[in-house]
């Protein structure tokens, strides 16, 4: 294990005076940054400056992994910043947590606070993103309550959703001696109706599933005709309409009901249309900033193996290439991990985070890698074992489970998260060659004798199955492709379609369609996957100039 190669992140961000020669780094600063209602141009100057300067950018999201806050902040972020995706374990669904929904959420916020504290203790400044204003129904406040008493903290206010809604609607909220009542739509219907009836102006937030209840409460209070519906105010997708006209099925969470100042009661203003677009010239969102991983183990990341916390091993499928191929579930597991374990080139595909330890190993030590991960988890760490493609297909899941079944690891929880397989990725680029029954096999004879491989190739060929062939060749295995081709030709026509996919999803991607007779073994290397068609697989040239390969769903009688 070597020292943390990412330890220079703080210095790169300009914090070169924080670490003394005779002592540890001073604690970082925590910022809760409000981003406003959605238009990136409504981010304050101070917020924009902090977004660009921060060592760590943290943001909440649902399990799909997409963050509205991050998309708003994207124009102001810089390359190489550390990102902490704080992914909710649940939103409104049920849970088997012993403390119920609130217990699960409380544990989640406590874990998020530990992750951010690790960065702060290491001297990194952390910016927590928040839509609207951080202390106005903001997700940031849960971190504030847990960390502000321990670290220097500052909250940067943002334009609230209520202010944004009034602005796009073109109606004052309150005038003179009027009062504004702000209510969450989650209140009981009778409470909503009572408070709306007594209010001058009112805003009801958190609609979504509560919309029908809120509409009924407005009607009961005699205020429905005054109420406006505002969805995603200030963004390109904003929608404005009299609330009584809105279909409940179309209402997202990021919407609100607004009763403007009674002084301005009357016809709708001539300004905004009911559905408008944000002003032109807003800078578009950019993708996730990533650094370059080293593929070596890091040193002593703060906060790892927290005392009293139950560790676990999660075997994570990364898919065949970069982040676009990564499932939200896998993204969540990677974000929550304390330790990352895997073959070096696969670890390189996970953006570096100095809060996490990285343990890179050679590709031929699967059992040792699995045991190491389980030992780390037994000591209390959350460990993600990364695997290319799907971890259950010629990858790490079986190796981890085999070692996990030893008595010494009986108490260590193990989960397997699927990933997009290389076979499916290559197939999608070619068309649909796996549209009917198919077989998946590996040409590698490192863990099984070639006689077994040859027998299985012949059996699949006789059964007229499409074959997805993994590990066709390597530096030390150069003859198997030709041998497999010859075996297949004993049962398949020479014109049988073959797809050769190389580095699909990566920078060197290429997809070649050839035939079994014309397959050149010299053109196949360790980064390739082969799809060999059945007797029904077809190659067709479409009118748009694209050539597709597909296997029909119907099989001839």
For 415, list phi and psi in degrees, rounded to 5. -125, 150
Q: Looking at the structure, do residues 480 and 544 belong to the same domain, yes or no?
A: yes
Alpha-carbon distance 182 to 199, whole Å?
Answer: 9
Q: Are residues 150 and 35 in the same domain?
A: yes
C-alpha closest to that of 453 among 465, 469, 438, 464:
469
Instruction: Assess whether pLDDT exceeds 60 at residue 524.
Output: yes
Q: Using only the alpha carbons of the chain, give its radius of gyration.
A: 28
Whether residue 445 sits in one domain with residue 412:
no
Within this chain, do residues 124 and 231 fall inside the same structural domain, yes or no?
no
Residue 541's closest CA among 550, 532, 533? 550
Same domain, 201 and 128: no
pTM of the model: 0.72
Indicate if the alpha-carbon torsion angle 181, 184, 185, 189 is positive or negative. negative
Residues 328 and 355 in one domain: yes
Domain containing 226 equals 162-264
Number of domains in the chain: 4
pLDDT in tens, 235-267: 999 999 999 999 999 999 889 999 998 875 555
- Structure tokens, 66: 């997409």
- pLDDT, tens digit, for every residue of 92-109? 656 777 878 888 899 999
Within a domain: 282: no
Question: How far apart, in whole angstroms, are the C-alpha atoms of residue 26 and residue 375?
Answer: 32
pLDDT over 50 at 487, yes or no: yes
- Which pLDDT value is given to residue 91? 63
CATH number at residue 84: 3.40.1010.10
Same domain, 154 and 203: no
Residue with tokens 């066709």, as numbered in its chain: 472
**Of 231, 264, 297, which residue sits at a domain end?**
264
Alpha helices (H) in 141-240, listed in sequence order: 141-147, 161-169, 189-198, 211-220
pLDDT (0 to 100) of residue 543: 80
Residue at which a domain ends, from 364, 396, 420? 420
pLDDT band at residue 151 under the 50/70/90 scheme: very high
The per-residue pLDDT for range 345-360, each reduced to its tens digit, is: 999 999 999 999 999 9
pLDDT in tens, 1-55: 333 333 333 333 333 334 333 445 689 999 999 999 999 999 999 999 999 999 9
pLDDT at 449 over 90: yes
- Per residue in 366-417, pLDDT (tens digit) is 899 999 999 999 999 999 999 999 999 999 999 999 999 999 999 999 999 9
Q: What is the pLDDT of residue 92?
A: 60
Contact 158, 36 (CB under 8 A): yes
What digits encode the pLDDT tens for the residues 326-346? 998 999 999 999 999 999 999
Q: How confident is the model at residue 307 (pLDDT cuts 50, 70, 90)?
A: very low
5 in a domain, yes or no?
no
Mean pLDDT over 435-452 rounds to 92
Dist. CA 98–CA 95, nearest whole Å: 9
Q: Are residues 427 and 541 in the same domain?
A: yes
For residue 284, what pLDDT band results from cuts at 50, 70 and 90? very low
**Within-domain flag for 176:** yes
**Degrees (nearest 5) of the Cα angle 240, 242, 243?**
100
Q: How high is the pLDDT of residue 267?
A: 52
Place of tokens 């031929």: 364
Q: Read off the pLDDT band of 119 (50, 70, 90).
A: very high
């Amino acid at each position: 294990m070597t020292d943390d190669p990412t330890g220079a992140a703080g210095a790169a961000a300009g914090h070169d005076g924080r670490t003394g020669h005779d002592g540890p780094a001073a604690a970082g600063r925590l910022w809760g940054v409000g981003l406003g209602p959605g238009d990136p141009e409504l981010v304050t100057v101070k917020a924009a400056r902090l977004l660009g300067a921060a060592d760590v950018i943290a943001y909440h999201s649902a399990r799909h992994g997409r963050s509205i806050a991050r998309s708003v902040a994207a124009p102001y972020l810089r390359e190489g910043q550390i990102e902490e995706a704080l992914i909710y374990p649940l939103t409104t669904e049920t849970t088997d947590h012993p403390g119920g929904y609130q217990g699960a959420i409380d544990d989640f916020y406590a874990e998020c606070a530990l992750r951010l504290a690790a960065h702060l203790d290491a001297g990194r400044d952390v910016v927590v993103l928040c839509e609207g204003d951080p202390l106005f129904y903001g997700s940031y406040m849960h971190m504030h309550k847990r960390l502000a008493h321990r670290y220097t903290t500052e909250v940067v206010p943002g334009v609230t959703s209520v202010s944004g809604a009034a602005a796009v609607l073109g109606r004052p909220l309150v005038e003179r001696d009027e009062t504004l009542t702000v209510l969450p739509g989650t209140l009981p219907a009778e409470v909503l109706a009572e408070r709306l009836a007594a209010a001058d102006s009112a805003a009801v937030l958190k609609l979504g599933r509560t919309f029908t209840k809120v509409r009924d409460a407005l009607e009961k209070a005699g205020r429905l005709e005054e109420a406006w519906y505002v969805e995603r105010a200030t963004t390109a997708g904003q929608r404005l309409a009299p609330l009584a006209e809105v279909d409940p099925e179309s209402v997202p969470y990021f919407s609100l009901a607004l009763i403007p100042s009674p002084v301005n009661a009357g016809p709708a203003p001539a300004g905004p249309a009911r559905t408008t677009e944000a002003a032109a010239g807003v800078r578009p969102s950019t993708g996730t900033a990533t650094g370059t991983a080293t593929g070596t183990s890091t040193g002593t990341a703060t906060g790892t193996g927290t005392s009293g916390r139950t560790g676990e091993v999660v075997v994570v499928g990364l898919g065949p290439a970069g982040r676009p191929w990564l499932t939200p579930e896998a993204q969540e597991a990677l974000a929550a991990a304390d330790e990352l374990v895997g073959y070096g080139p696969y670890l390189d595909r996970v953006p570096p985070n100095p809060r996490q330890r990285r343990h890179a190993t050679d590709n031929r030590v699967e059992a040792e890698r699995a045991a190491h991960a389980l030992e780390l988890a037994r000591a209390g760490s959350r460990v993600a074992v990364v695997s290319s493609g799907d971890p259950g297909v010629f990858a790490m899941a079986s190796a981890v489970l085999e070692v996990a079944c030893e008595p010494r690891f009986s108490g260590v929880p193990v989960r397997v998260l699927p990933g997009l397989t290389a076979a499916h990725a290559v197939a999608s680029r070619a068309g649909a060659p796996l549209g009917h029954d198919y077989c998946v096999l590996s040409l590698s004879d490192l863990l099984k004798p070639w006689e077994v491989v040859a027998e299985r190739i012949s059996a699949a060929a006789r059964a007229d199955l499409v074959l997805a062939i993994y590990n066709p060749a390597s530096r030390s295995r150069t003859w198997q492709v030709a041998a497999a081709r010859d075996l297949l030709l004993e049962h398949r026509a020479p014109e049988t379609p073959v797809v050769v996919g190389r580095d699909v999803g990566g920078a060197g991607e290429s997809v070649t369609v050839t035939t079994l007779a014309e397959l050149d073994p010299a053109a196949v290397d360790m980064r390739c996957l082969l799809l060999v068609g059945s007797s029904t697989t077809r190659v067709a040239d479409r009118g748009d100039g694209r050539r597709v390969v597909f296997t029909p769903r119907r099989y001839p009688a």
